[in-house]
Amino acid sequence: MDRARLIHAMADVVGPTYVISDPAELKVYEADGLTIFKATPDVVALPKSAVEVADVVRLCARERVPFVPRGAGTGLSGGALAVEGGVVIGLNRMNRVLEVDYANQRAVIEPGAINIWLTNQVSPDGYYYAPDPASQTACSVGGNVAENSGGPHCLKYGVTTNHVLALEIVLATGETIEIGSWTPDPPGYDLTGVFVGSEGTFGIVTKIVVRLLKRPEAVKTMLLVFETIADASATVSGIIGRGIIPAAIEMMDNLTIQAVEKGVHAGYPTDAGSVLLVELDGPRAEVEALAESVIAVGREHRMREVRVARDDAERTLLWKGRKAAFAAMGQISSAYYVQDGVIPRTQLLKILGEIDALSRHYGLRVANVFHAGDGNLHPLILYDDRVGGEVQKAEAMGAEIMQRCIAVGGSITGEHGVGFEKRDFMPLMYTPADLEAMAKVKRVWNPDGLLNPGKIFPTSKSCVEVSAAGKPGDIGYKPHRIELEGKAQRF
């Protein structure tokens, strides 16, 4: 089917107003939050209902056109990019909270609804939705399901998969199914568990049943201030080592603090080497006792100062700094490349030291802001996108950071997904047999490979071994050359 006929056929399904084909308007859909890669779809369709999603999918399947679901486009691994062209299916118009059921602590929500909307709606009644990506004011719950998103409070409460009870899904054939259950442990295979985190390659989510939590009796938010990252890292291990699981422990280094203070004035001390944002919640008496223990651990590791939020306004301000940290990088750099490695917590100091060495080697600054409690690093590699070669340097450095994470027993992604960006790193973690086992599952859900192609799996063309310079762990060691194929281009 040629493009003109495809556009016409899409308009018959969703209405001409909700088909985007103008080249200038398509630019909105050519990248996600990563922005290093771009790929322009041939057309964007914006369905309003599961029935329309199914009709769009059936049309694509019949005409053998690739199709890619997209929520808010805040993803950080190129997951929503139409790397082989075709149709982007934007879920933004399906954005209602359909039902709230406090008696059963559940809500039913459409995929395009923004994460924070649910909490905003239920919080006057003392409830909230726990998974809270730092992007929660912008990202969609459908995108969260696809990426199995985490967030600062997922240390204690678990990531998205722990809060999704059931899903309505349009399969790659256009058929609609419902998986999961409102009641615990339904019989049969746990398809909800399989689906959550499948990065838009197993089907399109059109309805989500999520768990709601009751607000805890008390919340205490503290900023622990340190001269060095070493002391902050030791404090993180010390807190968890005592068996304390705070609701959140977020770490920020000095460069991040500088950016945050220029951007949102959260009141962080700009001369600190590192700060920990620690939040405790639960019954009041327990929170008070745990806070004393956390402060004691901090003191054991030369904590310079502790600031305890006295009210909601102060608490919000402390969190505003953390949640706006990525965006605040614009204050100190024209561009940044965010990485999402995971390491065992005990390796925090070693890896941060290695990142520092890589930063000096490549001549690129790195700001560290991350979920320290679960070892999920987010080094932000700052570069100047107006200087030729800098983006490639940032990418090479990012690849080396991933190497280091794997070398200490970690992983190439904690929450942002593999997507397009990291597919060539997969063989660093998995054997061909491991990958084939995953590919078999994908073929069951996505037999023709038309649904979100080019993601997660390395391709024979894209992943080429080259002779290694040095050995793993050396600065400059490059096990893989990454070649882009299809329509996607570097920024």
Ligand X SMILES: Cc1cc2nc3c(=O)[nH]c(=O)nc-3n(C[C@H](O)[C@H](O)[C@H](O)COP(=O)(O)OP(=O)(O)OC[C@H]3O[C@@H](n4cnc5c(N)ncnc54)[C@H](O)[C@@H]3O)c2cc1C
Stretch that binds ligand X, among 39-47, 73-81, 211-219, 469-477 (CB under 6 A): 73-81
Measuring CA to CA, which residue among 99, 78, 33 is closest to residue 380? Answer: 33
Task: Give yes or no for residue 91 binding ligand X (CB under 6 A).
Answer: yes
Looking at the DSSP bridge assignments, the partners of residue 11 are none
Work out which of 41, 47, 66, 75 binds ligand X, going by CB under 6 A: 75
Stretch that binds ligand X, among 41-49, 196-204, 261-269, 483-491 (CB under 6 A): 196-204
In sequence order, what E strands does 314-468 have? 335-338, 366-371, 379-383, 463-465
The least distance separating ligand X from the CB of residue 257, rounded to whole angstroms, comes to 17
Secondary structure letter of residue 18 according to DSSP: G
Stretch that binds ligand X, among 66-74, 356-364, 422-430, 458-466 (CB under 6 A): 66-74
Task: Give yes or no for residue 68 binding ligand X (CB under 6 A).
Answer: yes
Tell me which residue has its CB nearest to ligand X: 143
In sequence order, what E strands does 289-362 have? 305-308, 335-338
C-alpha triplet 100, 102, 106: angle, nearest 5°:
60
Measuring CA to CA, which residue among 70, 63, 73, 71 is closest to residue 13? Answer: 63
Nearer to ligand X, 71 or 298 (CB): 71
Q: Which helix (H) or strand (E) holds 229?
A: helix 229-241
Residues 6+ positions from 474 with CB-CB distance below 8 Å: none
Q: Pairing state of beta strands 67-70 and 106-109?
A: unpaired
Task: Give yes or no for residue 133 binding ligand X (CB under 6 A).
Answer: yes
The least distance separating ligand X from the CB of residue 286, rounded to whole angstroms, comes to 26
Work out which of 6, 45, 80, 426 binds ligand X, going by CB under 6 A: 80
Nearer to ligand X, 208 or 234 (CB): 208
The least distance separating ligand X from the CB of residue 290, rounded to whole angstroms, comes to 23
Nearer to ligand X, 134 or 297 (CB): 134
Q: Pattern of binders to ligand X over 324-363, x per CB under 6 A? A: --x-------------------------------------
Task: Give yes or no for residue 200 binding ligand X (CB under 6 A).
Answer: yes
Nearer to ligand X, 39 or 287 (CB): 39
For the beta carbon of residue 231, count every other beta carbon within 10 angstroms: 21
The least distance separating ligand X from the CB of residue 129, rounded to whole angstroms, comes to 13
Task: Encode 382-408 in three state secondary structure.
Answer: EECCCCCCHHHHHHHHHHHHHHHHHHC
The least distance separating ligand X from the CB of residue 44, rounded to whole angstroms, comes to 12
Task: Give yes or no for residue 70 binding ligand X (CB under 6 A).
Answer: yes
Q: Which residues of 116-130 are buried (b: 16+ CB within 10 A; e: fewer)?
A: bbbbebbeeeebbbb
C-alpha triplet 399, 403, 405: angle, nearest 5°:
115
The least distance separating ligand X from the CB of residue 474, rounded to whole angstroms, comes to 31
For the beta carbon of residue 209, count every other beta carbon within 10 angstroms: 23
CA distance 403 to 161: 27
The least distance separating ligand X from the CB of residue 319, rounded to whole angstroms, comes to 12
Task: Give yes or no for residue 134 binding ligand X (CB under 6 A).
Answer: yes
Task: Give yes or no for residue 199 binding ligand X (CB under 6 A).
Answer: yes
For the beta carbon of residue 232, count every other beta carbon within 10 angstroms: 29
Task: Give yes or no for residue 79 binding ligand X (CB under 6 A).
Answer: yes
Nearer to ligand X, 151 or 180 (CB): 151
CA distance 387 to 376: 30
The least distance separating ligand X from the CB of residue 466, rounded to whole angstroms, comes to 29
CA distance 289 to 158: 23
Nearer to ligand X, 330 or 473 (CB): 330
Residues in the chain, overall count = 491
The token pair at 284 is 């009041």
Radius of gyration of the chain (CA): 23
Task: Give yes or no for residue 72 binding ligand X (CB under 6 A).
Answer: yes
The least distance separating ligand X from the CB of residue 13, rounded to whole angstroms, comes to 17
Question: Could you say which residues in the range 406-465 bind ligand X, by CB under 6 A?
Answer: 415-416, 452
Q: Amino acid identity of 422?
A: K
The token pair at 35 is 């922005």
The least distance separating ligand X from the CB of residue 195, rounded to whole angstroms, comes to 9
Task: Give yes or no for residue 204 binding ligand X (CB under 6 A).
Answer: yes
Q: Pairing state of beta strands 43-45 and 87-90?
A: parallel
Nearer to ligand X, 383 or 420 (CB): 420
Task: Give yes or no for residue 130 binding ligand X (CB under 6 A).
Answer: no
The alpha carbon of residue 349 and the mean position of all alpha carbons in its chain are separated, in whole angstroms, by 23
CA distance 33 to 189: 34
Q: Pattern of binders to ligand X over 136-155, x per CB under 6 A? A: ---xx-xxx-xx-xxx----
Query: Which chain residues interact with ligand X by CB under 6 A?
Result: 32-33, 68-76, 79-80, 91, 111, 133-135, 139-140, 142-144, 146-147, 149-151, 199-200, 204-205, 326, 415-416, 452
